[in-house]
Amino acid sequence: MSAQIITCKAAIAWEAGKDLVVEDIQVLPPGPDEVRIKVDYTGVCHTDAYTLGGHDSEGKFPCVLGHEGGGTVESVGDNVTDVKVGDHVIPLYTAECKDCKFCKSGKTNLCQAVRATQGQGVMPDGTVRFKCRGQDVYHFMGCSTFSQYTVVSKFSVVSIAKEANLEKACLLGCGITTGYGAATKQRYIQGAQVAIFGVGCVGLAAIQGARAAGATRIIAIDTNSKKKSHAIHHGATDFINPLEIKDKSIQEHLVEITDGGLDYTFDCTGNVKVMRSALEACHKGWGESIIIGVAPAGTEIATRPFQLVTGRVWKGSAYGGVKGRTELPGIVLDYLNKKLDVDTFHTHSRSLKDINEAFHDMHGGDCIRCVVNMK
Ligand SMILES: NC(=O)C1=CN([C@@H]2O[C@H](COP(=O)(O)OP(=O)(O)OC[C@H]3O[C@@H](n4cnc5c(N)ncnc54)[C@H](OP(=O)(O)O)[C@@H]3O)[C@@H](O)[C@H]2O)C=CC1
Ligand SMILES: N[C@@H](CCC(=O)N[C@@H](CSC=O)C(=O)NCC(=O)O)C(=O)O
Ligand SMILES: [Zn+2]
Ligand SMILES: [Zn+2]
């Protein structure tokens, strides 16, 4: 029997800068290369707030935000073979087609098969699967997990072990995998001195990745001293609140205490001034700074070119460099085998009707991740 339109609840972002509105939405059946998912849980990431705040140059409204979900496959299109009805799945905002130039390069996880339409808020055929009050509603990051049901491309979803609790595993859809992957994928991190700027969900996961990969000194830097205990729990050896450093910049302080600078630094704030500090805290000749944070539209990074001439490297990472369909099931197994701590990132819970409170939680200073129960 072919799939029908589903009417369910979703949190609609009608316009930038306004609260989400939870109301009925119609979710169309999946196309031949698509998967319809019953979303069980979703995290709320800083990037959702960034787009809702009007800072995303790709932001399209009205839309269904959310990209850190876990759910169950409800129906699949005729050409879908890798996931089946009833599977537990994670939607992937970084798709993996396994066939494009990017996927086949072996150099990047940035599959381009659906990226152009994803950025326009539509499915690969150029149309949407959401309607509300008779109006088309855009998709977001190819996931739109703030709806009880969503439709994604078959390249943007992966099945995971059913033993993994989706209330926790949903966080592997973005924040944890992003930080953990970005650190573990650095080639020479074993024995390295590392600094992580911003220790929210992404930064804490980067600390955990650096520890797992054998970094010997891991310096956590955050303007919120309440993050210190979380940072130490995940493996930081030092915690610095940059607001407490007087008479010198944080990068000067870091260069001093590390005998010339860090081997690796990670920006997990999205603040372009912090990105500069992170680059300039790197060791001359070889230090590498990885930008993970997403900066507001219109902002730009700056440093003296001499910083790069003298051997520091500035680069970036999306979704931790992880290829979702190939690698995420193994990361979920690491979680199940207790090699990766996921549970302690889940500090707050909300129901769908209270989803706006999850955004307030995020800015409250004591929240790592708020998980929304979509039932
Ligand atoms: N590249 C990618 O694939 C991804 C990027 N991101 C981006 O990564 C960034 C981090 O995300 P997330 O962990 O969810 O965000 P959080 O807001 O949870 O964490 C950021 C942390 O940085 C702190 N901070 C703010 N300003 C400074 C500063 N000047 N110096 C040091 N610390 C500071 C914040 O403190 P306070 O709480 O006081 O504000 C907070 O503790 C965001 O920009 C997000 O959009 C997220 C996921 C994937
Ligand atoms: N749309 C923005 C850029 C937003 C961005 O950089 N997104 C990250 C993921 S953030 C997750 O929480 C990312 O993966 N970027 C790579 C990509 O292909 O989008 C803009 O237009 O600036
Ligand atoms: Zn995110
Ligand atoms: Zn691809």
Give yes or no: residues 312 and 349 share one domain. no
Residue with tokens 């009050």: 133
> In the prediction, which pLDDT does 254 show?
98
**Is there an atom of ligand 1 within 6 Å of 239 CB?**
no
The number of distinct structural domains making up the chain is 2
Tell me the residue range of the domain where 54 lies: 6-159+342-373
In the DSSP assignment, the letter for residue 18 is S
Q: Are 369 and 346 in contact (CB under 8 A)?
A: yes
How many CB atoms neighbour CB 141 within 10 A? Answer: 27
Q: Give domain status of residue 326, yes or no.
A: no
Q: Are 287 and 195 in contact (CB under 8 A)?
A: no
Q: Which pLDDT tens digit goes with each residue over 251-285?
A: 999 999 999 999 999 999 999 999 999 999 999 99
pTM of this structure = 0.98
Give yes or no: residues 63 and 106 share one domain. yes
Kindly give the distance from the C-alpha atom of residue 284 to the centroid of ligand 3, in angstroms, as a whole number: 32
Q: Give domain status of residue 70, yes or no.
A: yes
Q: Give domain status of residue 325, yes or no.
A: no
- The pair phi, psi for residue 328, each rounded to 5°, is -65, -40
Q: Give domain status of residue 331, yes or no.
A: no
Residue nearest ligand 2's atom 15 by CA: 318
Give yes or no: residues 186 and 299 share one domain. yes
CATH code for the domain of 247: 3.40.50.720
CATH code for the domain of 126: 3.90.180.10
Q: Answer yes or no: is pLDDT of 57 > 90.
A: yes
Q: Give domain status of residue 174, yes or no.
A: no
| Length in residues, the chain | 375
Q: Which pLDDT tens digit goes with each residue over 129-161?
A: 999 999 999 999 999 999 999 999 999 999 999
| 231, 232, 278, 337 from 225: Cα distances, Å | 10, 12, 19, 31
Kindly give the distance from the C-alpha atom of residue 49 to the centroid of ligand 1, in angstroms, as a whole number: 11
| pLDDT band per the 50, 70, 90 thresholds, residue 127 | very high
Q: Which pLDDT tens digit goes with each residue over 97-125?
A: 999 999 999 999 999 999 999 999 999 99
In the DSSP assignment, the letter for residue 271 is -
Q: Answer yes or no: is pLDDT of 1 > 80.
A: no
Kindly give the distance from the C-alpha atom of residue 316 to the centroid of ligand 1, in angstroms, as a whole number: 15
For the chain, the C-alpha Rg in angstroms (whole number) is 20
Q: Answer yes or no: is pLDDT of 166 > 90.
A: yes
Q: Give domain status of residue 359, yes or no.
A: yes
Q: Are 237 and 219 in contact (CB under 8 A)?
A: yes
Residue nearest ligand 2's atom 7 by CA: 294
